[in-house]
Structure 1
Amino acid sequence: MDPLTSRTLRGIWSPTLLPLDADDAIDFGRLEESLEAVLGSGVHGVYTNGTAGEFHTLDEGEYDRLHALVAARCAAAGVPYQLGASHPGGRLSLDRVRRAAALRPGAIQVVLPDWLPLRPGEVVAALRGFAAAADGVPLVLYNPPYAKTQVTPALLARIGEEVPQVVGLKVPAVEVAQGLTDRFAVFVAGHALATGRRGGAAGSYSNVACMSPAGAVRWYAQMAADPRGAADVEARLRGFLDRHVAPLAADGYSDPALDKALCAVGGWSRTGTRVRWPHRWVPAEQVPALREAALTALPELLTDPLSTD
């Protein structure tokens, strides 16, 4: 596909969640089924190997098989896609970047090497190395709140000047990139997108799309057509998350477990709530009550037909 730019990278991007069997093997049949549902939902793109995709658990064979599937299906559907080449180790990240680049996605998502925090010059060196390995495919820097190396506005400005191949950012809030939204496509958390767009955010790698890909797209359109109504949806969405999902986080469930629980709440996919060892997953028996609460709070997001198990 054509390389993405800071101007063309926009909208609701849906993660690729891993349906897992009891032995932690990826069920690629269920994964393909869910991918087809996402591709028919109207999302602006699909991405792999973010936190929701449990990138840190994939072996290299799984990584390549996942990317071959996503690239083929997205290309056939005419839906843009980004491939995540992230790994906690820098040298393994470079290998993943090279293999992702061979599939010519719209962009390659990367995280900074994770075991030791990086100094600013090391951040720039890492991104330059990734850019060289990407062979002309642009990069998106994925820097969530729990990354050991947090990019500051000053460091982002330096990256913008010294690593032109970086076209997009995933950051905790648009304020981190204040003054840089013309240089980068800045992506924020899905549930904060209505507020983020007012500050210049381009879109989200979306936890809302975990719950309802089509609902997230409808909400994104509402942000332009009915900003006040979209802000009301965000307030109710935050309220639902605060009341029903934040307690699960406080109980120690990881972000991938929460994203899969939201997917189960939406009911559009048979992904299931299981995450890979050694992390816990939200028990399936908790999903009906969460779904009832979500339907009460956010009926306009959850009008997609429920899948059958």
Structure 2
Amino acid sequence: MKSAEHAIKGNWASLLLPIEADDSIEFSKLGAEMDILIDANVDGIYSNGTAGEFHNQTEEEFDRIQLMLAERCRKMGIPFVIGACQPDPAIMLNRVRRAAALAPAAIQVILPDWWPLTDEEAIDYLNRASGIANGIPILLYNPPHAKRVLAPRELGAILAESPGVVGVKLADGDANWYAEARDHLSGVSLFVPGHHLATGIREEVAAGAFSNVACLSPRGAQRWTDLMLADIDAAVEIEQRICKFMDQHIVPFRQKAGYSNAALDKLLCAIGNWGPVGTRLRFPYRWIGEDEAQRLRAVAKQELGDIMI
């Protein structure tokens, strides 16, 4: 499938913001986190996903984060993607313009989120973003909490008229979803949830993941991703254990207590204990206590020893 041949593939680690008690970003810790991810030799690093709290930072902070990432990754030869996502379309297009100047491998956008777009409006918006990106590929982020969650057929029709969009980060589904994705999204790089990546690879649909498993362990997620090319059955067995851990120990924080996906990803990072991030989110969002991370660390080491590197 063409998506597997695209340069943007594999295990992409999310940049998470270390937030201090006064709600400021601790940029020295952020730089240390970038260095750890680069040293883990992940396939790439991306900024300003949901877990990167793109929706809750100033434009000055946005620029500082992207410049730090671009300088470090270029120096070490690590691919990077900049998330220009923002619910406001005018602000987002300005972020695309500034991101393009840093020459990332791609720029990720969402569809403007206060009022859902029609197909025609989505095509217009993506083509405008692509033009502003000045030749840098666009990735569309269409998560389950988007105002419009696009089915493969809808997505295929929109992308057929948006040639600058080379990939989509989205939630996968059952066997029928994968069949529809093969029918309507051939040639598009699809990025499935990190804990479903082995299934996505086995189904010959996924190019990679902007990965929550890399939040838990960047090195472990990379080793697991590499295993998929050598022994997909063994990788699927690991996926089953990852999904069981997520369902039993992580998802209940969202289902029962209403914590955000960003809170869950930062919890995973604290369980993995690989960098100076912490679980705190920026006001007004609530986060999960470090004590829960300490409690679950022993569980993760026991159940996911091949990931917890």
Q: TM-score, normalised on structure 2?
A: 0.94
**1:7-156 aligned within 5 A:** 7-156=6-155
Give the whole-Å Cα distance in 1 for the aligned partners of 2:119 and 2:52: 28
Deviates more, 1:58-67 or 1:222-231: 222-231
Give the counterpart of 1:271 among 277, 286, 292.
277
Corresponding position: 1:179 with 2:178: no
Any conservation in 2 of the 1:194–1:230 contact (CA below 8 Å)? yes
Say which SS state the counterpart of residue 42 (structure 1) adopts: coil
Alpha carbons 2:156, 2:185 under 8 Å: kept: no
Following the alignment from structure 1 to structure 2, what is the Cα–Cα distance between the partners of residues 98 and 121? 22
- Report the equivalent of 1:307: none
- Aligned partners of 2:202 and 2:232 also within 8 Å: no
- RMSD over aligned Cα atoms: 1.5
**Matched residue, 1:189:** 193
Equivalent residue number for residue 297 of structure 2: 291
Structure 1 233/287 Cα, relative in aligned 2: closer, same or farther at 3 Å? same
Q: 2:260 aligns with which of 246, 251, 254?
A: 254
Asked if the contact 1:81–1:107 (Cα under 8 Å) also holds between the matched residues in 2, the reply is yes
Shift of the alpha carbon at 1:6? 6.4
- Give the CA deviation at 1:182: 3.5
- Cα separation, 1, equivalents of 2:181 and 2:61: 34
3-state SS, counterpart of residue 18 of structure 1:
coil
C-alpha distance in structure 2 between counterparts of 1:100 and 1:82, whole Å: 9
Q: Is the Cα contact below 8 Å between 1:6 and 1:167 reproduced in 2?
A: no
Alignment partner of 2:225 out of 216, 220, 225: 220
**Are 2:192 and 2:210, in contact at CA under 8 Å, matched by a contact in 1?**
yes
Q: Which amino acid aligns with 2:237?
A: D
SS at match of 1:164: coil
User: In structure 2, the residue corresponding to 1:46 is in which secondary structure?
Assistant: strand
1:186-233 deviation line (CA, Å, top 9, x unaligned): 000000001111122010000000010010000011112122211111
Paired amino acid for 1:182: S
State the 1:136 CA deviation. 1.0
> Whole-Å Cα distance in 2 between the matches of residues 33 and 5 of structure 1?
31
**What is the DSSP-based 3-state SS (H/G/I as helix, E as strand, rest coil) of the residue aligned with 2:52?**
coil
> What per-residue deviation string (whole Å, max 9, x for no partner) do you get for residues 226-277 of structure 1?
2221111111111111111011112111111110000000011110000011
Distance in 2, matches of 1:67 and 1:5, equals 27
Q: Which amino acid aligns with 2:222?
A: V
Amino acid in structure 1 at the alignment position of 2:186: D
Cα deviation for residue 180 of structure 1 reads 4.4
The answer for the alignment partner of 1:229 in structure 2 is 234
C-alpha deviation, 1:183, in angstroms: 1.6
Shift of 1:44: 0.6
Paired amino acid for 1:221: D
Structure 2 residue 308 is matched with structure 1 residue 302: yes
Task: Judge conservation of contact 1:5–1:167 (CA < 8 Å) in 2.
Answer: no
C-alpha distance in 1 between matches for 2:5 and 2:122: 20
Contact 1:43/1:213, CA 8 A, preserved across alignment: yes
Name the CA distance, whole Å, in 2 between partners of 1:75 and 1:137.
16
Distance, in Å, in 2 between the alignment partners of 1:289 and 1:296 is 12
- Tell me, yes or no, if structure 1 residue 162 matches structure 2 residue 161: yes
In structure 1, distance between residues paired with 2:73 and 2:266: 22
- Within 1, Cα distance between the matches of 2:40 and 2:129? 32
After the TM superposition, which parts of structure 1 deviate over 4 Å for at least 4 consecutive aligned residues?
Answer: none
Structure 1 length-normalised TM = 0.94
With 225-234 and 63-72 compared, the bigger mean Cα shift is at 225-234
8 A contact 1:101–1:134 mirrored in 2: yes
* More helix by percentage: 2
Unmatched tracts of structure 2, length 5 or more: none
Please give the secondary structure, in 1, of the residue aligned with 2:139.
strand
The percent identity for this pair of structures is 44
SS in 1 for 2:50: coil
